[in-house]
Structures are given as structure tokens and as C-alpha cells.
Amino acid sequence: MVATAAALAGCTIVPTSGNPPTASEEERGGDILSQTYVRILAQPPRPDATAVEIVRGFQAAMASFDDPQRKVARQYLTGEAATGWQPWATATTVCDCRFADDLPEEDADKFSVSFKGKKVATLEKGGRYRPTSSEETVDESFTLIRVNGEWRISAAPAGLILLRSDLTRAYAPVEIYFPNLSFTGLVADRVRVPIDPSRGLPESLIRTLLNGPSGPLAGAVENVYPEGTKLNGIRVEGDTLYVDFSAQIAGLRGRPDRIKAMQAQLAWSLGTDRIGGRSIEILVNGETFPGGGIRFKITDFPSYDPAVITGDVAGYFVRDGMMYRAAKDGEQSAPVLGAAGQSTRPFNHSAVSSEDRDQVAALMGDETGVWATQLVDGSPWQRWINAQGRLTPPSWDRNGEVWSVESAGGRSQVWRASTGGHQSPVPAPELAEADVTAFRVARDGVRVAVVADNGSGQTVQIGSIVRGQTYRVGALETLVPAEEGQKVIDVAWKDATTLLVLTEKDSPNGPQQALAAYPILDGDEKTPIELSKRLKSITSTDSRILASDENGALTVWDGKKWNLLVKDGSSFPAYPLG
């Protein structure tokens, strides 16, 4: 990484090391604690500054993290305004904005400078980045008066306002991880961490981790660090990164499930790209963790992978009333073992559990029941979910529970079951009056993708499952808004944080389909995937998409092109937990 120096109104940018801006990875010697950053040093107002220079300097000083209390920014305000200004009262606004260049009359004692442009996003407490719609704008006005002959801002908007360039320079997007409530896996949360020149990024990341999850994950995941745990600091000695916490972390002693989850949480959040192959050792106020110490490597926790399914796993499809394991590595497609591999009962919309559980669930008959069976010889179908209305295609979670939503009479009910005849209703107030056509649990077992229509068209929403003595589905946020004439054909999880969405719209040339991969964490742009045929159903892993078209052909997308797998007669493709 090479730092560059530049000049901005009201601030100076210098490298954090204080050396000329030519630092490189080799010059740092790979030391993760002394990374070079571009640093913004806020400058106080000049005595002869114009009104426009004052507001520009104020906005630039908002982006200075060398001044966490924004003391320099307050110097641009009148005394009363400086006392009343609350930079953290609301979410931070990120925009592509410009100040008006109008100048006040020479003898004016009061003047307003407008600040307008496109609102890009908000940055919520905890660092969660929320992109805004293309129609949202910023239209603010800064009122200035003369104080002892110098312009000062007497009325400023609440909260911080950052330019997009400020955000890029002053924040680092990172993924941090939190255990699910059963401590069996991790869930990713992406946040923007302020770049603190006095600390390396790993230290800032750990401090953010201690604050807990952001937004909709609150309540759906657990931060296993005991309340009040602080980070004293980190240091590198040889091949070990020492992470020193306050005494509260010793409260984990005697709780091996939480200790292991804490280790996995820290290891996955730091990642090999930040600390390489070093081991991590936990200290308590500079001393070894009581009971023999805690030392581990980042690579020790593959079972906590949020994606669960990695690599080239087998896919499945239905043909002639039987489920087949798709051909792979030169093999031939063959019926699965158990009832699903026999044409005794017609079924559709099949879903496959994780490979270690080897179960399949499907709708049968009038789609008011979810049936399940194991993929072993002699295993029969059992009815797991029974409903009065239409059920959505079943979806497995990583804990072996199957989920479906019943819709009837303009109302919906979420159901879950972990064995036959023991279904449980799950409250989902935001879906109660919606027509739900798809409900897919993410591979991390916490997030869900929902296709629902509240009367204004189909949307794709992302929510979360809160587990415990009682379950709840909520915190829904729109990923794909409704569009006139648009129908959502299918959705599938590509991995734990990317959703594939297949849509169709009418056009003068007939129905036109679009397939795109939507990152769900940080408002990244969707990635379109080319289509050569009209598809009916999709499923995916991190590296492949399996799809059936309207003629029963089964094709697989390898990242570059679609390859024919089955010529005709196939339907309902499925990858485990897809």
C-alpha cells in the first residue's frame, strides 16, 4: 500500500508514520501493528476565511479521526452552536454533495451556504453501512453570522456529513463474525471501522467486535465476550499475536463451548490476510488466561464456516418422480437411496439438508404438507409439516430443522419442524399479512430470504431468525424492491452472504428473465449472470449454479458458461442447504 499526500480545505493529509509518503509493505516488514494510512489532520479556521471556506473547513473537520471529539470542527461554530451540536445524535450521512459558491454582500452580517447533492448512504452506530435509493438527496443549509468580524456557523445540521471520498479514506470495510445462539457456527456482519492512525486495523477491528453485532443481527447471534470486556492492546512477538483483554474475559473459564466460540469468532474476524500464519494467544491483563492459557491458530475452526457448504459438492434433481444425484467427475446421475429415490409418491420442490445429515424434504400433492426422508436404504417419507393453506418450498437450516410458510386468505404463518409430527409455529409479524411464495434459510442458519407481496408487488427481503426458548422471524429489509410487471421466479443462496435472484418481466418480445447475485451485507452492486434459456428453478453453491429450464433441461453455470447436464425431463434442482 502506498500513501499519498494531498491538501483539502480545512485539513491536511499526512502519512501516519510521519515519514514521506512512500511507505510500502516491504518497508513495514509485514508488521500488522504499523500499517500506513492516509491521515486527516483537521485545521482550525483562518482569521480571514470566507463564509464558504468556513463551511467547507467544518465539513472536512467532521472527517478527522485524529480529533474524536471534533474539537476542531466546533471551532467553526459559534459558542452556542458548538455547545448544542451533537455529531452522533443521528446516523452519519454519506453523500456526493457540493457547497454553493455564492458570496455574501461585503457588509453582510448573516449568510447561508447551501449543501446539496445525492445521498449515497447512512452509516449507523456500530458502523453498519446502509445504501440509500437513487432518488434520495441531501439539501442542507449552513447559517453563518459574523463573530468579532469573522464568519462562524450559527446553525448546522445534526450529525456528521461525510463525502463519499471521506468515507473511502477514513473507514475500512471489514467482516466480523458472531456465533449463532447454539455456538455451532458463525454469522458474518460487515461494518465500516474508523481508521485510527494510533492503532493498526486489527486492533480497531477487535474493539468493534467487542461492541457486538449491528442492525438486524442483534438478538439473532451472540457475542460471547462477557459484558464489560475491554481490549487492553495487542502485540506481535515472533510468530504469535498476543491479544490482551481486561479481567472480564476470565469469566469464560469453565465454559468450553463459549471459549471455543470466542476463539472462532476472533480467528475468523482477523483472518489470515491480516495476521498471516501467526498463532493467537489470549491474555488477561497481561497474564496467561487462567487454567492453562488459550492459544490457537486461525485455521483451527473450519466447522464454524458460515457457508457450511464449500467446494465441489454434488447436486440433486427430480426426474420421473424420483430424486437423482447429479453426475459429477465423470460419474453417471443415479437415484438416491430411500423413498426419495423411488417413484412411489409424486413430490416436488425438494430440498436437501447438510451432507452430514443426509435428509431431503419436499412438497407433495396439493402442497399443504412438507414431507421428509433420509437418503438411506429403506427410509420412508414422513409428514413433518401439515397445513391448511399453500406452503412454500421447504428450506433446511444447518441445525437440521426444516422451514416453510403457509399462506391462505391473505395471511401467512411460518412453520418449523425437526422431526415428523412436531411442527411449531414461528411468529413473523412483518409477514402476517403478506403473500409469501419463497422462504429460504441462509446457510449460516440465521438469515432468511423471503419473497413476499404485501399488495404492491413482489419484493425480496432479508431478515433473521431469533432462536431460543421462543423463536421469531423479523428485522426484514428490502433487497429487491417491487417493480411493475416484475415477478420473482426463484431465489437461492450462493453462500452465506450472497443471494441469487431470478426475475421475469413482460416485454414486447415476450417475457424477459434476469439472474443476478446480490451481496446482502454492504450495499455492493449486484452482479448480473447471463442467461441463454428461460429458467424455472435455481440452486447454487459458492462456485456453481444448477438450473432447470422450461423444457426440463438441467444446466450448470461454472462461472463462465452454462453446461448441459441433463437434456430433458428434469426439475427442482437442489444443492445441500441451497
What are the DSSP E strand ranges found in 225-366?
231-237, 240-245, 279-284, 287-288, 294-297, 316-319, 322-325, 334-335, 347-352, 359-364
Scanning the structure block, which residue is given the C-alpha cell 465539513?
Answer: 59
- Topology at the third CATH level for domain 6-170: Nuclear Transport Factor 2; Chain: A, (3.10.450)
Please tell me the predicted confidence (pLDDT) of residue 33.
59
pLDDT above 90: percentage of residues in the chain? 65
Please tell me the predicted confidence (pLDDT) of residue 215.
80
Rounded to whole angstroms, the Cα distance separating 267 from 305 reads 11
SS3 84: helix
Report whether pLDDT(12) > 70.
no
Residue-wise pLDDT tens digits, 239-251: 999 999 999 999 9
Please tell me the predicted confidence (pLDDT) of residue 386.
94
SS3 442: coil
The residue with greater pLDDT, 331 or 231, is: 231
pLDDT above 70: percentage of residues in the chain? 92
**For the ranges 72-76, 156-160, 413-417, 488-492, which has the lowest average pLDDT?**
156-160
Report whether pLDDT(459) > 70.
yes
> Chain-centre distance of CA 454, in angstroms?
24
> Closest Cα to residue 59, out of 47, 70, 48, 69?
70
Q: Please report, for the chain, the start and end positions of each structural domain, with discontinuous segments joined by +.
A: 6-170, 173-304, 316-574
Report whether pLDDT(17) > 70.
no
Residue-wise pLDDT tens digits, 103-132: 788 778 899 999 999 999 999 888 889 888
Question: At 40, is the pLDDT very low, low, confident or very high (cuts 50, 70, 90)?
Answer: low
Q: What is the mean pLDDT of the chain?
A: 88
281-284 long-range contacts, CB within 8 A, separation 24+: 281/240, 281/241, 281/242, 281/243, 282/243, 282/245, 282/249, 283/232, 283/242, 283/243, 283/244, 283/245, 284/244, 284/245, 284/246, 284/247, 284/249, 284/250
**For the ranges 26-40, 254-268, 483-497, 520-534, which has the lowest average pLDDT?**
26-40
Scanning the structure block, which residue is given the C-alpha cell 510468530?
Answer: 239
DSSP state of 221: B
> Closest Cα to residue 178, out of 143, 146, 141, 225?
225
Please tell me the predicted confidence (pLDDT) of residue 23.
29
How many Cα atoms are found within 13 Å in the side-chain-facing hemisphere of 447? 30
Backbone dihedral angles phi then psi of residue 230, each to the nearest 5 degrees: -120, 160
First to last CA, the chain: 38
> Chain-centre distance of CA 331, in angstroms?
37
> Closest Cα to residue 195, out of 410, 404, 16, 374?
16
Residue-wise pLDDT tens digits, 45-69: 999 899 999 999 999 998 887 787 8
Copy the grid coordinates of residue 232.
487492553
Report whether pLDDT(502) > 90.
yes
Report whether pLDDT(403) > 60.
yes
Rounded to whole angstroms, the Cα distance separating 276 from 254 reads 30
Taking the domain 316-574, which CATH number applies?
2.120.10.30
> Closest Cα to residue 353, out of 342, 364, 361, 341?
361
- The sign of the CA dihedral 461, 302, 174, 214 is positive
Residue 493 and residue 575 in contact, taking contact as beta carbons nearer than 8 Å: no
Please tell me the predicted confidence (pLDDT) of residue 39.
62
Please tell me the predicted confidence (pLDDT) of residue 30.
44
Please tell me the predicted confidence (pLDDT) of residue 394.
97
Report whether pLDDT(536) > 50.
yes
Copy the grid coordinates of residue 500.
441469487
Please tell me the predicted confidence (pLDDT) of residue 417.
96
Please report, as a single letter, which amino acid is at residue 217. L
Residue 395 and residue 439 in contact, taking contact as beta carbons nearer than 8 Å: yes
Residue-wise pLDDT tens digits, 431-456: 999 999 999 999 999 999 999 999 89
Residue 195 and residue 215 in contact, taking contact as beta carbons nearer than 8 Å: no
Question: At 11, is the pLDDT very low, low, confident or very high (cuts 50, 70, 90)?
Answer: very low
Question: At 37, is the pLDDT very low, low, confident or very high (cuts 50, 70, 90)?
Answer: low
* Tally of helices (H runs) and strands (E runs) in the chain: 8, 41
- What's the average model confidence in pLDDT over 340-359? 89
Copy the grid coordinates of residue 212.
457486538
413-421 long-range contacts, CB within 8 A, separation 24+: 413/387, 414/439, 414/473, 415/370, 415/385, 415/387, 415/391, 416/471, 417/370, 417/384, 417/385, 419/384, 420/372, 420/382, 420/383, 420/384, 421/382, 421/383, 421/384
Report whether pLDDT(8) > 50.
no
- What's the average model confidence in pLDDT over 405-414? 92
Please tell me the predicted confidence (pLDDT) of residue 28.
37
- The sign of the CA dihedral 326, 331, 333, 334 is negative
Copy the grid coordinates of residue 63.
472527517
Residue-wise pLDDT tens digits, 261-294: 999 999 999 988 888 889 999 999 999 999 889 9
- What's the average model confidence in pLDDT over 397-412? 93
Please tell me the predicted confidence (pLDDT) of residue 64.
82
